[in-house]
Amino acid sequence: MAGDVVLLTGLPSLVARAVCFEIVRSDPTARVEAVVRAKFVEDARATLDELPAEQRRRVHVVEGDAASIDLGLTGAEFKGLAREVTRIHHCAQVTYLGVDRKTAERVNVGGVLEAIEMGASCEHLECLVVHSTAHVSGDRRGRVLESELAAGQSFRSVVEETKARGEKVAREAMGRVPIAVVRPATIVGDSQTGEVDRFDGPYLLVLLVVTSPPDIALPLPGRGDEPLHLVPIDWVARASVALGRDPRARGKTFHLVDAQPLTARRVFELVARAGGRRGPRGSIPANLAKALLRAPGLDRIAQSPRAFLETLTTPVSYDAREADALLAQLGVPPCPPLESYVDKLVEYVQERVRQRRATKSVDLEIDDPLG
C-alpha cells in the first residue's frame, strides 16, 4: 500500500522544516512535496540535507509560491499533485511583526485560500492542516476556547489580524474540504537542541539576560504575573502531524499549548539561572522596558518589543480540551515543561551571540521565509 503524499508549504521556515522532518521521521512510507519560493530553493535544499539519506530521498522540492494562483505551479505540476496528494500541511505564513499589510494579507490570507483550492482539487485528500496561531485571540482576556474565533477582539499587529482572517477562511471551507486548524502558542526553539530561526518575542528576555553583565540583576519588564504561553517547535510539529493523520481532527480547531504555563516572572528567573545571571529584581514600567530594548544592537536582533511586552500584560488562557484528549489517544505526550529545556534555548542563543560578536556583527535576524 502506498504511503501518504504530503504537500507542504513554508520551507525553509522553522515550522515547515520541523513538520517536514517529523513527517518523514515518523512514517517510513510518507513522501513530501514541498512547494518553495524560487529565492528560498537553495536554502530549503540545504536544510533538507540535514536529514538522513533515506528520509531526504522522500522529500521533493517543487518551485512555486504558496500565495500565488495554483501555488505558482505549472498546470501539469498542479494536476499531478492533485492526483497524488493525500494530506496538506499549510505552514507558509509571515510572522515578522514589521511586515507591511499588503504582504501580510497576500501570504496569511491569500495563502490559505490557495491551499484550500488545492485541497478541493485533490482526488484523495484526507486532511488539510492549516497552521494558525493562538494569537488570533488578539487582546482577549480570560479563557479562550478552541471553538471560538471572532469574539470582538482587537489585534495588536497586522500579523494577528491577517492570521485570524486566514483562519476564518479555513473555517468557512470546512464543509467542502477536510480541514483541521492548529493554533500553537508562542513557538520557541527545539526542546532537544534549542535551535530557532529568528530571535523575537520571548527571545527578548533571553537576549536581555545573555547580553547583560553577569553581576547585574535585571528588573522584569512589567509586573510579570501573567502566564507566558510557550511551546517548543519539535512538540508542535509532532502534535500537528499526528492530528493531521487522524480523521477525527477534521472540522476542528486545536490549541497547542502548555497545560501549566509559567508566569513571565518565572520564565525570566529560569532564563537568568540558565544564563548564569542573577534572577530579576523588581520590575519596571513597560514603556521604560521598551526604551531599554532599543539599546544599540538589541534593536537590530529582535523585532517589535512593544508587541511582545503587551503579551506580558494580557491575562489570557487557552482551553485545549479537544487537542489534549485526541493527542492523548494518539500517544503524543503533553507539551514538555519549560524547566526541562530552557537550558537548551539559552545555550543556543549564547552560542549565536558569541559567533556574531566574533565576526563583529549583531544582526541575528533571519529573513522570514514566506513559503
Quote the cell numbers at residue 291: 526604551
The C-alpha angle 140, 144, 146, rounded to 5 degrees, equals 135
Domain spanning 5-187+230-256, CATH architecture: 3-Layer(aba) Sandwich (3.40)
Quote the cell numbers at residue 115: 491551499
Q: Where are the domains of the chain?
A: 5-187+230-256, 196-228+261-314+338-358
pTM summary value: 0.91
CB 114 within 8 A of CB 288: no
CB 244 within 8 A of CB 326: no
CB 170 within 8 A of CB 112: yes
Pairing of strands 87-90, 59-63: unpaired
- CA–CA gap between residue 356 and residue 308 (Å, rounded): 24
CB 189 within 8 A of CB 344: yes
Q: Which of 122, 120, 149, 151 is nearest to 134 (CA)?
A: 149
Q: Is 304 left (phi over 0), alpha (psi -120 to 50) or beta?
A: left
* Residue partners of 358: CB distance under 8 A and separation at least 6: none
- CA–CA gap between residue 135 and residue 15 (Å, rounded): 16
Q: What is the pLDDT along the chain (371 residues), one digit of tens a residue?
A: 478 999 999 999 999 999 999 999 999 999 999 999 999 999 999 999 999 999 999 999 999 999 999 999 999 999 999 999 999 999 999 998 888 999 999 999 999 999 999 999 999 999 999 999 999 999 999 999 999 999 999 998 999 999 999 999 999 999 999 999 999 999 999 999 999 988 888 887 788 788 877 776 666 666 778 899 999 999 999 999 999 999 999 999 999 999 999 998 899 889 989 988 877 665 555 555 555 555 554 444 344 556 666 777 788 999 999 999 999 999 999 999 999 999 999 999 999 988 888 876 545 544 443 44
The residue to which cell 526542546 is assigned: 191
pLDDT tens per residue, range 174-229: 999 999 999 999 999 999 999 998 888 888 778 878 887 777 666 666 677 889 99
pLDDT tens per residue, range 288-329: 555 555 555 444 434 455 666 677 778 899 999 999 999 999
